[in-house]
Amino acid sequence: MTASHADRVFAGSIPQLYERYLVPLIFEPYADDLVERVRAIAPARVLEIAAGTGVVTRRLAAVLVPDTSIMATDLNPPMLEHARALGTARPVDWQQADAMALPFADQSFDAVVCQFGVMFFPDRATAFAEARRVLRPGGTLLFNVWDRLEANDFADTVTAGLAGRYPADPPRFLARTPHGYCDIAAIARDVAQGGFAARAAVDTVARRSRADAPSAPAIAYCQGTPLRGEIEARDACGLAAATEQAAQAIARRFGPGPVEGGIRAHVVTVVR
């Protein structure tokens, strides 16, 4: 599946809700995993693409040795501005950039890192070719993508709950984009088409996602992602009711109190 333009719009209150709800719910465990992989290769210059609100950026700044330079980029200025406002443990360079046409010289970085961003790229092979171009020989591209929707409990439950509310035209953002690029063979093919001669190594990593109440993952997905636009397109005044229906679906499956579900992602490493 290919992301539509609307699937790539993170504006309005989405950056704040994304950071408050989605980051602790699903992104933090994989940020720790990805940053440890970066630290293991000891890069001198790191480029992060699709940095979002900066969960990986903040960990890179805290974990990598002080003389490692970090350039953090994102296509969406509101996300980047929110990340910049949150700050980092040490100075980081921030720049708005399109992963399809990176504004950096050839062979500028030792590592290119992307957490849960490649699913949104209109042409992944082109984006991988750009990552390869800015990597020095021997440099490493590291990125992760979500596994299929059914392996990620809260996202799957929210999608099913909203399908019950909009049966004639169920919102499919989560299945289409965040969880729509999970075929390992397709990922390896796109990486190869991007010019990488080395075979991509793929690790499938399972974690647990936790929240204090069913409302938290419901708000996270319904209001902190472009799923919000799909809901509002079907019912301009229905966001709160749709969020509540998603929360009820989570409560039915996981209970009314603190909730816990599985999450699963693929982590890809390839050397230039």
Query: What does pTM read for this prediction?
Result: 0.94
**CB neighbour list of residue 57: distance below 8 Å, 6 or more residues apart:** 48, 51, 70, 72, 83, 88, 92
The predicted-structure confidence for 202-239, as pLDDT tens digits, reads as follows 999 999 999 999 999 999 999 999 999 999 999 999 99
Query: Which residue range is the domain that position 161 belongs to?
Result: 6-271
Reported confidence tier of residue 65, pLDDT bands at 50, 70, 90: very high
- Supply the DSSP string of 223-244, one letter for each residue: HSSTHHHHHHHH-TT-HHHHHH
- Residue 223 belongs to domain with CATH number: 3.40.50.150
* Residue 124 maps to a domain: yes
Nearest-CA neighbor of 127 among 198, 178, 135? Answer: 135
**CB neighbour list of residue 173: distance below 8 Å, 6 or more residues apart:** 7, 225, 226, 227, 230
Reported confidence tier of residue 101, pLDDT bands at 50, 70, 90: very high
The structural domain count of the chain equals 1
Scored b (16 or more CB within 10 A) or e, 221-236 reads bbbbbbbbbbbeebee
pLDDT at 228: 96
pLDDT at 3: 54
- Residue 181 to residues 26, 111, 125, 148, 216, Cα–Cα distance (Å): 17, 22, 13, 8, 25
Average pLDDT of the segment spanning 105-121? 98
- Residue 174 to residues 9, 14, 46, 122, 162, Cα–Cα distance (Å): 14, 15, 29, 16, 11
Tokens for 190, please give them: 């796109």
The predicted-structure confidence for 141-199, as pLDDT tens digits, reads as follows 999 999 999 999 999 999 999 999 999 999 999 999 999 999 999 999 999 999 999 99
Reported confidence tier of residue 4, pLDDT bands at 50, 70, 90: low
Taking the C-alpha atoms of residue 78 and residue 56, their distance in angstroms, rounded to an integer, is: 17
* Residue 1 maps to a domain: no
